[in-house]
Chains A and B, each alone.
Chain A
Amino acid sequence: MKTLYDILDWPGTKWLFIVLALVMPLASLLTWAERRQSAMMQDRLGPNRANIGPVKIMGILHFVADAVKMIFKEDVIPANVHKGLFTLAPILALAPVLIAFCIIPFGPTIYPHVYTQTLDTYALATQPQNAMFADSIRLQMFQVDFGLIFYFAVLTLANYGGTIAGWASYNKWALLGGLRSSSQMMSYEVAMGMALMGAFLVTGSLEPGFIASHGASDSMSGSNPLNWLWLWQPVGLILFFTAAIAETKRAPFDIPEGEPEIIGYFVEYSGMRWGIFFLAEFIEIVFISSVIATVFFGGWQVPFLDADGFRVGGYVDQVNHISVGGWFRPLPHAIVTGLQFAAFGLKVILLCWFQLMIRWTLPRFRADQLMHLGWKLLLPLSLANIMVTALIKLLFMGGS
């Protein structure tokens, strides 16, 4: 029994779980959802016919057909390409995104021995060594104080994927696309990091799990939607969202690719190699949604659902940092954790949907407009956001 929990709590297991149960299905479904959604927005129906025999759920199986097609397509490697780098580039694009997922808390901590009972939060706060709380499984792979920094550091590596693909392709247009890709990523990374600094100032932590479970204010419970950072950092949210969309290299910031006319860095790729770039892009959408959900929308928190059940109007006991009082409806631990995991999934799906909305609403920016927006608008605004946040924190909230 002990080893079972150990295996479950092992980061590799969690990684496999989140990748196979959440990220991959969502990313592959997004390839279909994007086409259906864009069609709906343009008064068309979109792909709705892929089926296995009579099973035709609105054409949801199109992603299977796509995968089969891409795997069996001819893998063309043009003459003169740098074979090693050409092969490496798709992996470099995909791997960092999958690695970055390890900082995302996709659910609360599970205490398997009290699964059927209501969680005793007071006992948990005062005597965490108690046997009932043993073998806990934290639904987050990598809990470190520099979580968000880690995410920036790792995701920057994805930049190399595009640039190296352009370089290795032996194609002028691919090379130019790769250069556009790296210049865009570099410009927007700065604004992206700065936009999250405001969140750091408000919560005092860069650990996504802490931000999700505590929220902006100590006097409200983490499950209170008013305590989530969208209300406390609205400017940061908009800035981060904009920069993050630029980071995923999708319209309106799809200058590196520009499929219809200026053709981008993966012009020489075909078959599954191209498919990996494509998949990496969609996984990045899921990842950006997870980050935004975690930092700005309370992560796995369900509104007014505390660790022991629904509670409206309580207050936070400052000693043990647990929510007490108010209207209270206890729920078993299993149901609470299930709801919270589902809430995380739902938030991510909604944010993915919103990203697709933006992608199919706005036309592409020109390269100079992109740089203008990044350096002359997002960056100063995010710096101003930091200053204002810091001042408010210092003057009105005691600077703690």
Chain B
Amino acid sequence: MSASHHEEETHDMGLKVLSTSTIHPRVRTVQVSRPEAQDTTFLAATAKGLGVTLKHFARNLFLPMKKLAKRNAAGAPTDETWRNEIETVQYPEEKVTYPERFRGLHRLTLREDGNVRCVACMCCPTVCPAHCITIIPAETDDKGIEKKPAIFEIDELRCVVCGLCVEACPCDAIRMDTGMHARPVEDRADAIETRETMMGRGVRSIAVQGGEGPDWRAHGHEVTKTDVNR
């Protein structure tokens, strides 16, 4: 009987091999392990299980709720001994704070003068895999900027929340950092975000225009190709 044979035999079914025949290795005396009495009556196991569930039940019934912050932090150690273990967040009243990089509804950032920052370069509608961004460009008086979106719409029903538009934007004009999710609407048309709605969500970009602060034109130099590319 080879060693590999022996391994294979003891392996199957958890049988304990008592002796093996010399004529053929598969002819052998084995000991079958039958379930013990306490496993077939289930009484001890039931009592143990009831103890566990009863402990949870009593604790959750009689002790006060955990603080919301504790429930928010997933996997945070529970150092509040005299609190219950309920993890439920009561949604409309309590809200879970989303992770920092949660991709929420879009917003269009603003310039220092309150105009839309977007220059209608059409990068985002081009990259958008769902084809849900509609931009109709218009001219601006500002020669350094040249274009602005006259209409900027995103169909939130088609958006797959991939964030590629944010990645594609060369001038930090579109962002998804609102932390809001798409609201329920009664009409499909209501799910289309307009330029004004998205401009209304939040504040200026933290980037500084042209790298030189809000009054960069006051430095007096002409707009050159390098400036635009910068």
Chain A residue at smallest Cβ distance from B85: A43
User: Which of A37, A361, A362, A377 is the most central at the interface, judged by chain B CB atoms within 10 Å of its CB?
Assistant: A361
Q: A361-B50, A362-B46, A377-B40 are in contact. Are A41 and B88 (CB under 8 A)?
A: no
State which residues 40-73 of B face A: CB under 8 Å. Answer: 40-43, 46, 49-50, 52-54, 56-57, 60-61
A377 neighbours in B (Cβ, 8 Å):
40-41
Interface flags, A19-62, vs B, CB<8A=1, else 0: 00000000000000000010111111100000000000000000
Q: Are A357 and B50 in contact (CB under 8 A)?
A: yes
Q: Give the complex CA separation of A44 and B87 in angstroms.
A: 6
A357 neighbours in B (Cβ, 8 Å):
50, 53-54, 57
B226: Cβ under 8 A from any A Cβ: no
Q: Give the complex CA separation of A95 and B28 in angstroms.
A: 60
Interface residues in B, total, Cβ within 8 A: 20
Q: Are B56 and A40 in contact (CB under 8 A)?
A: yes
Q: Are A42 and B56 in contact (CB under 8 A)?
A: yes
B85 neighbours in A (Cβ, 8 Å):
43
B88 neighbours in A (Cβ, 8 Å):
39, 44-45
Q: A373-B42, A377-B40, A377-B41 are in contact. Are A43 and B87 (CB under 8 A)?
A: yes
Chain A residue at smallest Cβ distance from B91: A49
A274: Cβ under 8 A from any B Cβ: no
User: Nearest Cβ distance between residue B92 and chain A, in whole angstroms?
Assistant: 9
User: Nearest Cβ distance between residue B89 and chain A, in whole angstroms?
Assistant: 9
B86: Cβ under 8 A from any A Cβ: yes
B33: Cβ under 8 A from any A Cβ: no
B60 neighbours in A (Cβ, 8 Å):
40-41, 43
Of A43, A362, A373, the contact of B86 (CB 8 Å cutoff): A43
B21: Cβ under 8 A from any A Cβ: no
Q: Are A358 and B56 in contact (CB under 8 A)?
A: no
Of A40, A45, A358, the contact of B57 (CB 8 Å cutoff): A40
SS class, residues of chain B in contact with chain A: helix
State which residues 37-89 of A face B: CB under 8 Å. Answer: 37, 39-45
Interface flags, A251-290, vs B, CB<8A=1, else 0: 0000000000000000000000000000000000000000
State which residues 350-386 of A face B: CB under 8 Å. Answer: 357-358, 360-362, 372-373, 377
Chain A residue at smallest Cβ distance from B55: A41
Q: Give the complex CA separation of A26 and B40 in angstroms.
A: 34
Q: Are A358 and B50 in contact (CB under 8 A)?
A: yes
Q: A361-B46, A362-B46 are in contact. Are A41 and B87 (CB under 8 A)?
A: no
Q: A40-B61, A377-B40, A377-B41 are in contact. Are A361 and B86 (CB under 8 A)?
A: no
Q: Give the complex CA separation of A45 and B85 in angstroms.
A: 10
B52 neighbours in A (Cβ, 8 Å):
361
Of A45, A361, A372, A373, the contact of B53 (CB 8 Å cutoff): A361
B43 neighbours in A (Cβ, 8 Å):
238
User: Nearest Cβ distance between residue A156 and chain B, in whole angstroms?
Assistant: 26
Q: Give the complex CA separation of A41 and B52 in angstroms.
A: 9
B22: Cβ under 8 A from any A Cβ: no
B90: Cβ under 8 A from any A Cβ: yes
Chain B residue at smallest Cβ distance from A373: B42
User: Nearest Cβ distance between residue B220 and chain A, in whole angstroms?
Assistant: 64
User: Nearest Cβ distance between residue A93 and chain B, in whole angstroms?
Assistant: 28
B84 neighbours in A (Cβ, 8 Å):
43
Of A40, A42, A45, the contact of B90 (CB 8 Å cutoff): A45
User: Nearest Cβ distance between residue A199 and chain B, in whole angstroms?
Assistant: 20
Q: Are B90 and A41 in contact (CB under 8 A)?
A: no
Q: Give the complex CA separation of A308 and B67 in angstroms.
A: 52
Chain B residue at smallest Cβ distance from A42: B56
User: Nearest Cβ distance between residue A354 and chain B, in whole angstroms?
Assistant: 9
Of B50, B57, B87, B90, the contact of A37 (CB 8 Å cutoff): B57
A358 neighbours in B (Cβ, 8 Å):
46, 50
Interface flags, A136-178, vs B, CB<8A=1, else 0: 0000000000000000000000000000000000000000000
B61 neighbours in A (Cβ, 8 Å):
40
Q: Give the complex CA separation of A203 and B202 in angstroms.
A: 80
Q: Give the complex CA separation of A44 and B84 in angstroms.
A: 10
A362 neighbours in B (Cβ, 8 Å):
46, 49
Interface flags, A209-251, vs B, CB<8A=1, else 0: 0000000000000000000000000000010000000000000
Chain A residue at smallest Cβ distance from B49: A361
User: Nearest Cβ distance between residue A67 and chain B, in whole angstroms?
Assistant: 25
User: Nearest Cβ distance between residue B51 and chain A, in whole angstroms?
Assistant: 9
A43 neighbours in B (Cβ, 8 Å):
56, 60, 84-87
27 A-B pairs (CB sep. < 8 Å): A39-B88, A40-B56, A40-B61, A41-B53, A41-B57, A41-B60, A42-B56, A43-B56, A43-B60, A43-B87, A44-B87, A44-B88, A45-B86, A45-B88, A238-B43, A357-B50, A357-B54, A357-B57, A358-B46, A360-B53, A361-B49, A361-B50, A361-B53, A362-B46, A373-B42, A377-B40, A377-B41
New A-B pairs, 12, CB < 8 Å, besides A238-B43, A357-B50: A40-B86, A43-B56, A43-B86, A44-B88, A45-B86, A45-B88, A45-B90, A357-B57, A360-B53, A362-B46, A372-B40, A373-B42
Closest 9 CB pairs of A and B: A45-B88, A40-B60, A43-B85, A361-B53, A361-B49, A41-B53, A41-B57, A40-B57, A41-B56
